[in-house]
Structure 1
């Protein structure tokens, strides 16, 4: 790690988290940092570190968080104050040579990621993979009807059920099971069951948004997706967080379902894949 970056000790993560308490709809703010404060590793190779540019981070809230799991790295970044040049410099000082994903950055941070891509010397064009951020006012949750029965019901997922979720994940890879297991183990989740058998689910990402919503084909168009969303929305609201969901723009069915339940779009976020390569520096 470049000397320009300073690691924030774990016992000071709450200081960084609290700088973002004023906006709980910020998906790289309070709830993301809170998630990793309470994070439990799956094995000894999984690590989480938070870096900043200087010891004045309680003033500017500038950070880069790196979650290393299954030989990959998931990178999150943000700043409270508009210190984008410093954040860009910090990102470009990374020396991540393995595959990594920059996760959930908003429109104002796209130039930073583009600069980082160019500094790594990739010959092809950077792709910002976009998602829409949906928000559900907590007052709307009270309007949800109760639809559980002794045979049809929702409950939290168990880590042992991660294999089922991973099997149906569009982004499944040889090492994605460990990531899915961590989501279930460390965060709120919901599964739909008929007489004890799992037929649909929804996870909550480290950002704090609903993700991985999936219903098996034989249970679709029967209100199961809405039932799962209603269940997990109550759990999220009870935790004190805002109820958020991320949906790719092309997924019209999910968008219509969320909008029917009272969700509305408040933002757009982006993800970008960084292939394995040597970091090029100007030095």
Structure 2
């Protein structure tokens, strides 16, 4: 598991090691050390969760009154990117690519305003789950996970999700839904 993205701008090169397991961390650290030996890098550690398609089949996807669900649209990319805690100068391209090429779900209020969303990442897992701060603790994050998980399970696939280790509320939500932690996964962006 894992992907490697590299991109170059006029002033720098960026390499993104995307979703690699604990067993690969020493090799990635060694590679980065050779590419940029004098530079410090930091990897984001996440808990890697799994839900079987059988478990997902039991998920309720009832939508609260006044809320509509839709696929994310390219016009939503700026909002999604801006509110993503791990965004950067180049991440808008990543967000647009995910919206255009994979499964997404968004919840909108009665005025059509975006209030929550989740995307399937190129790695195949859930990702970029976000709920607007004014709408938190109302069950919208869980709803986004349940609905997108159902769409993935309809393709006869199990569902995976990385959750930042320190994000205790999100980890609790996934565990309450029945997701099992099966590994530690890392994400590293190196610019030089």
Q: Structure 1 length as normaliser, TM-score?
A: 0.62
Q: Secondary structure at the match of 1:200?
A: strand
Q: Secondary structure at the match of 2:58?
A: coil
Rg larger in structure: 1
Indicate the larger mover: 173-182 or 187-196. 173-182
Structure 2 equivalent of residue 213 of structure 1: 129
Q: What's the offset of the Cα at 1:173?
A: 2.6
Q: Cα distance, 1:159 vs. partner?
A: 1.5
Report the equivalent of 1:252. 168
- Is the Cα–Cα contact under 8 Å of residues 156 and 190 in structure 1 kept in the other structure? yes
SS at match of 1:133: strand
**CA distance, structure 2, for counterparts of residue 69 and residue 190 of structure 1:** 28
1:185 aligns with 2:100: yes
Structure 1 gap segments, 5+ residues each: 1-26, 29-64, 73-96, 277-283
Q: CA RMSD in A?
A: 2.2
What does residue 273 of structure 1 align with?
Answer: 189
Q: Give the conservation status (yes or no) of the 8 Å contact 2:47–2:184.
A: yes
Residues 124, 221 of structure 1: alpha-carbon distance in 2 compared, 3 angstrom cutoff = same
Give yes or no for the alignment of 1:110 onto 2:40. no
Q: Does 1:236 pair with 2:152?
A: yes
Preserved CA contact (<8 Å) 1:141 1:233: yes
Structure 2: runs of 5 or more not aligned: none
Higher-strand-fraction structure? 2
What number of residue pairs does the alignment pair up?
A: 190
| Equivalent-residue separation in structure 2 for 1:236 and 1:146 (angstroms) | 14
Distance 2:44 2:14 in 1: 16
The aligned residue for residue 85 of structure 2 is 170
Please give the secondary structure, in 2, of the residue aligned with 1:207: coil
TM-score (norm 2): 0.88
